[in-house]
Amino acid sequence: MATNKRKVLTSIEVRQPSFPADRFEVFRNAVLVELENRKKDHDAKWGIDRLIWLVSTELREKVWAQLQRVYLAQESRDDEKMAKAVSGMCKAYDAMEAWATANNVEQVADVRQIEWRQPDGVIFVVVPDEKAKKVYLQAWPGTVDRIVWTIQEIAIIVNKQAQGQINELKRQWPGSQLVSVGGPSGFDDMENDIDMVTPSRTPKLFDTKAFAKA
């Protein structure tokens, strides 16, 4: 089923260049670190993509236009344009926060929440308990772009999966990581052409009865 993806202030990927590296790529990633740090500070205080949906239409349009300049500056491979675009985007966060303060918008309460943006743009949130969930959701009335779970809810689901074997594996190997094996990165996208029900017609190559008597 097709879904409409919301336009969000997606984080531009920042990584340490692999050396020997292209000169512009080194500069690009160096200045993007500044933007990434500014965004993290903003998200920690105001929530991921919260203010962009609360500010005026005029300001929202300006913020999105500035983010577009950051992408275009990367394509131009121009140091000056890149530096100015990143500086302008940092100022865009300043402008949204100034608007929020002037309009008495409160910062997101610290309930020890953990937020993570999924590939589809939805925010996955984990909070300590139901009380923390209620406090957190007060800042997101009518939200449909985030899924909020408590630790207890996640524990219930994990305990039910694979008859509790996942928890046992985590006890045995505390540093292990659970990953998805579906789609292009695993086996779920491959056609299952092995019939596990109908008896095989393949001729036997070994005498299993003779092996049992040995």
The Cα–Cα gap between 126 and 164 comes to 21
Per-residue pLDDT of the chain (214 residues; tens, 9 = 90+): 333 344 456 556 666 777 777 899 899 999 999 999 999 999 889 988 889 989 999 999 999 999 999 999 999 999 999 999 999 999 999 999 999 999 999 998 889 999 888 888 888 999 999 999 998 888 877 667 889 999 999 998 888 877 778 888 888 888 888 887 765 545 555 566 666 566 667 666 666 565 555 5
- For the chain, give every domain's residue range: 23-102, 114-172
Buried b (16+ CB within 10 A) or exposed e, 196-207: eeeeeeeeeeee
Structure tokens at 98: 């100034």
The Cα–Cα gap between 42 and 90 comes to 10
Query: Residue type for 35, please?
Result: L
The DSSP code for 10 is P
